[in-house]
Amino acid sequence: MAVAKVTKAMVERPKVPEQGHLVTWDSSPGMGGFGIRVAASGRVSYLVRYWNGHRERWQTLGAFPRLNLTAARKQAAAILKAAAGGADPVEEKRAAEAGRRAADAQTVEVLAGEWLAALPQKTTRRGRRISPRTVEQYESCMRLYILPAVGKRPVSQVTRRDVAALLATATKQGGNYMGNRAVSVLSIFYSHLESIEAVPAAFNPARRPPRNPEQRRGEHASVRLSHEQEGRLVREVYAAMESDRIGATALLTLLDTGRRLREVLGLEWRRLDLDAGTADLGRTKGRDAGDVCYLTPRVRDAIRHLPRIVGNLYVFTGNAPGGRRMGLQSLWERVKKTAGLEELSPELEGFHLHDLRHHRISELLAAGVAPQLVARQVGHTSLEQLRTYSHLEVADVAAVLSRLAQVAPAAAVADVAAIGGPA
């Protein structure tokens, strides 16, 4: 070992030993723990050493030319300053590397499984439990798109490039909406990882990613049916009762009540009051319990003609013993086609099952029903939500105002009678 002022020339044109290595410690003021090591191969690397209690610590900073002398001095000065303050930078570096290795051992697949298993017990910011439907959607996105793409990757190694590839793959397989949904679920998952410190804060590679252009549900012109279109649709629903009475009745209930699909399909006999014309949907997206909606006379009549199976709680039963109907999509597509809605209006080809909810809300508001009552009927917790679902036109406003114009105020009638005008 030697002690001398380490210069740029010593690094660029080192004195190479015949064997082993030669260490030179810097004699510059304040840099007593900094040095260079020259190997017999001619390789030059930078060193730093300090004492932590009774233990001598050595650390290699890097090698020339990847690391130049000026940058190496700055690194060494920072380490020596921290050591003088009682810290142990070498041990801290080892602990950080061990933490990174442990994080690398935690793959997306493993931590996603733990997250999904605990998700039903978690609550939203409003203190409500996460709905089973939401959990089901997250699980589906993970299984179909996220895990095949990055499931085997350590959570600390997923990059924005991986997210872009995920978006492209999910979009190709499931369309624009599903591509956006998969990336959103991945972002929510990484927010969870940040909260449990499985990844560093602000690490989330899926935060604010590029998104597919997406037509929000209810923005297209076909979201509301005309009276003729609704009439043709209802006739086909009744015709479908000959082959699928349970499904057709559920579809009619969906149309008339304006409720969500899962709420209608989850309807139980014990919660029905057909005489009063009400259905208690229990716990729904909008309420924790006691969410009651009104049933139209034709829906009540159709339900009365359904078979009531012993041992099955549900009104709309499914194929599994004791189970409920799981969906209406195939029936809906068939009814929509036979009703010939596209023939009346080509844009109705994109009319979704959920758009029946938009349609009913718009019709109720256009008929002059108070927004508070509409929100209560369809299960909205605030009037603000109705703005997304209502699709009113100038003709609707004109119709309401024309009805108001037909009602003369009592005071005006009295004034007209007093002057001998027509009452």
Q: Taking the C-alpha atoms of 141, 143, 145 and 147 in order, what is their torsion angle to the nearest 10 degrees?
A: 120
Same domain membership, residue 13 and residue 35:
yes
Mean pLDDT of the chain: 84
Structural domain includes residue 146:
yes
Residue 326 and residue 277 share a domain: yes
The model's confidence at residue 169, banded by pLDDT at 50, 70 and 90, is very high
Please check whether residue 202 lies inside any domain of the structure: no
Q: Are residues 162 and 271 in the same domain?
A: no
**Residue 376 covered by a domain:** yes
C-alpha–C-alpha distance, residues 255 and 317, integer Å: 19
pLDDT of residue 379: 86
Q: Give CA separation, 280 vs 81, 139, 263, 264, 304, in Å.
A: 70, 29, 10, 10, 17
Same domain, 290 and 179: no
Examine the fold and report which residue of 82, 102, 122 is the final residue of a domain before the chain moves on.
Answer: 102
- pLDDT tens track for 303-350: 999 999 999 999 999 988 889 999 998 999 899 889 887 675 666 666
Question: pLDDT tens, 146-165?
Answer: 999 999 999 989 999 999 99
Do 228 and 375 belong together in one domain?
yes
Q: For residue 247, tell me if it sits in a domain.
A: yes
Same domain, 9 and 151: no
Q: What is the mean pLDDT of residues 40-63?
A: 90
230 shares its domain with 308: yes
Q: How far apart are the first and last CA of the chain?
A: 119
* 256 & 295 share domain: yes
Q: Which residues of 117-134 are buried (b: 16+ CB within 10 A; e: fewer)?
A: eebeeeeeeeeeeeeeee
Is residue 144 domain-shared with residue 87, that is, in the same domain?
Answer: no
Residue that is last in its domain, among 161, 195, 229 = 195
Supply the CATH number for residue 76's domain. 3.30.160.390
Regarding whether 364 and 342 lie in a shared domain, the answer is: yes
The pLDDT of residue 383 is 72
Better-scored residue on pLDDT, 194 or 130: 194
Task: Assign residue 180 the CATH number of its domain.
Answer: 1.10.150.130
Q: Yes or no: say if 358 and 389 are a contact pair by the CB < 8 Å rule.
A: yes
Write out the residue range of the structural domain in which residue 182 sits. 106-195
Whether the CB-CB separation of 2 and 22 falls below 8 Å is answered with: yes
Range ranked top by mean pLDDT from 198-207, 248-257, 346-355, 406-415:
248-257
Q: What is the pLDDT of residue 259?
A: 92
372-398 confidence digits (pLDDT tens): 888 888 888 777 666 666 665 545 555
Q: Is 420 left (phi over 0), alpha (psi -120 to 50) or beta?
A: left
Task: Specify the pLDDT at position 371.
Answer: 87
Length of the chain: 423
Number of domains observed in the structure of the chain: 3
